[in-house]
């Protein structure tokens, strides 16, 4: 019996396995990057996508498989890690799923999407519901190859798209660890007022954008209780997760940041304990986005 399935990003299967183990959720087997569990679905930061209602379906023929899926609902995405030819033939019989790159800040697709795979040539695993509206939990954007000085803006775009919220024009943002300025660029493009905090300089093209000011100081030297309130606190600072946790807790305790979005970066072995401490903060969203490397995105938004 498979009650849930979790899809890890390539190379992050061990992190997902460890997170599930710590949560007491069993993995009966792996199907490619998909962890199959006999336990009900629960939160999993290291899963790009979680299949919440998987069921095994006999599929004696390609037509029978496609018919069974269509009988359940219209929109399906395939995750194929084996039996690729047969899987492709089944997919051809289903309505095509448009995985069009988003033009930020357009919202994530609202249409319902399920996922399926072939566990064996004659056995489907199909989940009409999954946590991500994107195929394989991977959002793609129409990229800007001219404006931003680094590609880090993509993980901020992904975070804000997943959260379904972004700074409004005129809102005050602090961008900690801002250099060379990919996030600051993305925030300034939204019309927000951005104070970029870093000891390293911003790219001059970003520094001269309307609404951008630079503070050459350490993110850890700021006293949240003495800072004027901000609508958004962002951090992409490179530091140990435990140090970031303390910083985030100080801002939350001071109550001077309405919304927080931070990357929790891991150096060497993943610090699962601190990741769990982030997850335990009330109102937290914690996820490994498709644009995250060895890091998680932490967010806590105003209700
Ligand atoms: C991954 S980079 C940030 C990239 C940036 N978000 C962008 O979009 O271009 C990490 C930054 O953290 C900065 N940093 C490291 N320690 C810091 C500290 N104590 N205070 C402020 N910035 C710090 C580094 O100088 C570096 O620029």
CA dihedral 241, 11, 27, 55 (to 10 degrees): 120
* Residue 80 near residue 88 (C-beta atoms within 8 A): yes
SS (H, E, C) 172-227: EEEEECCCCCHHHHHHHHCCCEEEEECCCCCCHHHHCCCCEEEECCCHHHCCCCCC
Neighbours of 144 (CB within 10 A): 16
Catalytic residue among 189, 199, 265, 293: 265
**Across 249-273, average pLDDT:** 97
User: Average pLDDT, whole number, for the chain?
Assistant: 97
pLDDT band at 212 (very low <50, low <70, confident <90, very high): very high
Measured by CA distance, the residue closest to atom 7 of ligand 1 is 182
Measured by CA distance, the residue closest to atom 19 of ligand 1 is 218
**Across 267-275, average pLDDT:** 97
The C-alpha atoms of residue 15 and residue 13 are separated, in whole angstroms, by 5
**Across 40-59, average pLDDT:** 98
With 0-12 / 13-18 / 19 or more C-beta atoms within 10 angstroms meaning exposed / middle / buried, residue 255 is exposed
For residue 220, give the ligand 1 atom closest to its CA.
19
Say whether pLDDT at 37 is over 90: yes
Ligand 1 environment, Cβ below 6 A: 150, 152-153, 176-183, 197-200, 218-220, 236-239
> Residues of the chain with pLDDT > 90: what percent?
98
The C-alpha atoms of residue 237 and residue 58 are separated, in whole angstroms, by 50
Smallest CA-to-CA distance from 264 within 230, 300, 294, 226 is with 294
* Residue 156 near residue 298 (C-beta atoms within 8 A): no
Ligand 1 centroid from CA 153, angstroms: 13
Is 265 catalytic? The answer is yes
pLDDT digits (tens, 9 = 90+) for 113-129: 999 999 999 999 999 99
Best probe residue, ligand 1, of 196, 197, 198, 207 (max atoms within 8 Å of C-beta): 198
**Across 275-289, average pLDDT:** 97
Ligand 1 centroid from CA 141, angstroms: 23
Query: What's the confidence (pLDDT) of residue 141?
Result: 98
The C-alpha atoms of residue 150 and residue 268 are separated, in whole angstroms, by 23
Ligand 1 centroid from CA 280, angstroms: 25
**Across 106-119, average pLDDT:** 95
Token code pair at residue 67: 């018919």
Token code pair at residue 187: 């925030």
For residue 237, give the ligand 1 atom closest to its CA.
12
- Residue 172 Cα distances to 21, 35, 81, 189, 248, angstroms: 40, 41, 45, 13, 18
Say whether pLDDT at 4 is over 90: yes
For residue 150, give the ligand 1 atom closest to its CA.
9
Say whether pLDDT at 98 is over 90: no
**Across 228-256, average pLDDT:** 98
Say whether pLDDT at 99 is over 90: no
């Amino acid at each position: 019996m498979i009650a849930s399935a979790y899809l890890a990003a390539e190379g992050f299967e061990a992190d997902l396995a460890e997170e599930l183990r710590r949560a007491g959720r069993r993995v009966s087997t792996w199907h490619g990057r998909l962890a199959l569990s006999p336990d009900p679905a629960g939160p999993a930061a290291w899963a790009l996508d979680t299949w919440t209602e998987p069921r095994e379906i006999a599929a004696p023929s390609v037509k029978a498989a496609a018919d069974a899926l269509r009988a359940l609902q219209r929109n399906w995405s395939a995750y194929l890690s084996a039996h690729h030819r047969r899987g492709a033939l089944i997919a051809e019989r289903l309505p095509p799923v448009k995985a069009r790159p988003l033009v930020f800040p357009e919202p994530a697709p609202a249409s319902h999407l399920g996922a399926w795979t072939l566990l064996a040539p004659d056995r489907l695993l199909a989940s009409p519901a999954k946590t991500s509206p994107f195929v394989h939990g991977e959002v793609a954007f129409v990229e800007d190859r001219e404006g931003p000085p680094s590609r880090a803006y993509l993980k901020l775009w992904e975070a804000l798209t997943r959260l379904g919220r972004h700074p409004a024009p005129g809102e005050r943002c602090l961008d900690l660890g801002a250099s060379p300025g990919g996030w600051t660029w993305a925030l300034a493009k939204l019309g927000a007022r951005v104070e970029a905090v870093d000891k390293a300089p911003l790219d001059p093209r970003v520094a001269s954008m309307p609404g951008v000011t630079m503070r050459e100081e350490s993110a850890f030297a700021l006293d949240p209780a003495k800072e004027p309130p901000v609508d958004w606190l962002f951090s992409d600072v490179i530091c140990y997760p435990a140090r970031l946790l303390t910083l985030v807790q100080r801002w939350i305790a001071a109550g001077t940041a309405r919304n927080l979005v931070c990357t929790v970066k891991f150096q060497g072995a993943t610090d699962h304990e601190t990741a769990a401490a982030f997850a335990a903060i009330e109102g937290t969203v914690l996820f490994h986005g498709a644009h995250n490397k060895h890091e998680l995105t932490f967010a806590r938004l105003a209700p």
